[in-house]
Structure formats: structure tokens, C-alpha cells
Amino acid sequence: MKKKLLVFDLFGDLAHFRKYYSTTSPVTFTIIPPVTVLGILGAILGLEKEENQYLTRLNKAGTMLAVQSLSKVKKIRMGINLVNTKGNIWVPKQRREGARTQIRFEFLKEVAYRLYVTMEDEQLFQKLIRMVKEHKSFYTVSLGLSELLAGFNYIGVKEFTWQEESDHFVDIVSMVPVNSLMEDGIHITSGQRYLKEMVPVRMDHQRIVMDYSEMLIESQGNPLRLKLKGYWKGAEVSIVLV
């Protein structure tokens, strides 16, 4: 089985992909979640956010993707002044700062990802290729928050071939679902840093998460040496699509 994948880079100075369980002190995922990538694809394609139509369209299109980190994970914290803009604002007299609340946000710093995307809907896929290649987007592309603007660069359209489970270790450049690993399938390499993180992979049109997956990530931007139940092999790299 073979697939054509659009490959492009996404980057920015700061990113914040809020974890679903964080409340008063927003913390970020270590790497951009697949559902956030769908939002970015929707922004590039101009798919409507009203009633989350972009999710409906991309899910129906059979969108699959992989995320490769091109940079080391660096996190910083900053105080952000939030302003209450809903309803009638009542502020106690003793509160000198008024209707503002300062919250410490966790951000990813100097992020860079390589995205691998494919769709069964050929017409929509060709439109995405054209938009990325011409460096166009219908809506502004951002990294989790509207203030955190992102850039993107077209790399190419590459062919990948499906490979069945293997009894030898393979270098995988993307984040990998833990449930796709074979027993004793991680080759621990000196100098690398391994993380496991539960991330949302699929959402329905009501933004209800349909699928979470525990992902294996190398936080220094290095490939993972793994034994897998299956993966996609390209001319230069191998990845796992989700």
C-alpha cells in the first residue's frame, strides 16, 4: 500500500497547546497535538469554524497525519493579564488592578515541526497542496493561541509505503502511539530524552474528543529507534500516521 503525503514545516517563536486538565495555571502539551494540526489545516484551507465545520470536513476527507519535532523542547512561563469582557463587570473596590487577572501561562519556545499529511478526498488534498506551495492561507495560522503567529514552508509531496511489523529496529522521526510498539520495542540511546504524553487525536463536530492516544516523544528532536507493528516508509524517513 502506498500513499502520497504533503510535507511542510510549521514554526513560530512561541506556542501554547493547552492540556485539557489544566485550570488556573494553563500548561502546554510537549508537542503539537493532531487535533491542533487539523485546526491549522482548516485555517489554511478556509474551512469554516462555525459549528466546527472544519472538523466535519477533514474527518470525512479521511485525513491522516504525522508530526516530527525539528527542535528541542524548551518551555518558559510568563504572566499574562486576562481581562473579563463578559457581561457586566463588577470589581470590588479593594481590588486595585480592576477587571484584570494575571495568570502564569506555560509556553513552548522556538518551536519547529515537520508535518506529514494525507487525505482520501483528492480534491481537498490538491487544494491543500496548492495553498501550502504558494504560501497562502485563508485564515491566519497560529500555534494554539491567536496571538502566537506561525509561519510555514512547503517541502514537497512524497510517496510513502506501508511496512508490516518488523523484528528489527527502525528509525522513526515522528511521535509514535505507544500501542503501536511491539514488546521490548524501544532501543534506548545514550543522550536522548524520552517522554510519554496522552494527547487528543480525534474530535467530532461538537469538539468532543473521540480518541486519546499515549504518544512516545523524543524531546531533543532526534529519531526514535523502535520495533513497530507497522509504519510508513519514505525515501528518506519513516513515520507513523495517526
Mean pLDDT of 124-152: 97
Mean pLDDT of 108-125: 97
Confidence class for position 50, pLDDT limits 50, 70, 90? confident
Phi, psi of 144 (to 5 degrees): 95, -40
Class of domain 2-82+103-239: alpha beta
Percentage with pLDDT > 70 across the chain? 93
Mean pLDDT of 28-41: 96
pLDDT in tens, 7-31: 999 999 999 999 987 777 799 999 9
What cell was used for 106? 506555560
Would you say the pTM of this structure is higher than 0.75?
A: yes
What cell was used for 113? 515541526
Measured at the CA of 24, the angle between CA 23 and CA 25, to 5 degrees, comes to 95
